[in-house]
Structure 1
């Protein structure tokens, strides 16, 4: 997740998983902003890394309900 422009690692409980999606059963608040991206990038992300929002392109799921979690692709800022 993102807090104050920095990556904040949080432990979550995962439910059902597909090739492209994972159900988060607990560990996140509805207002949390979640960092998404390819594993090769996320696996290198560390707690406290500066991150910058990058708009998503070609969103398949355009769920705009209040229950939808905020999913924003972030890129690591170079320091």
Structure 2
């Protein structure tokens, strides 16, 4: 689930490298301290919330794929084309 949250971030940031401005060697330290990337520009708040939930340090608190699929389906229905 963590990786799916990263994938969503990469999609909404149009392919930017995750954890910008943080040296690769320091990413784990930052994440362990609770750091979460900011929402990419133009990312709907509901999608960013899914990202944040996917990045919860406690795997038991992360949503499962069924829950994420349901949330994204609801968001799709609410979003005009």
The TM-score range, normalised by the shorter chain, is under 0.3
More strand by share: 1
Q: TM-score, normalised by structure 1?
A: 0.27
- Structure having the larger proportion of residues in helix: 2
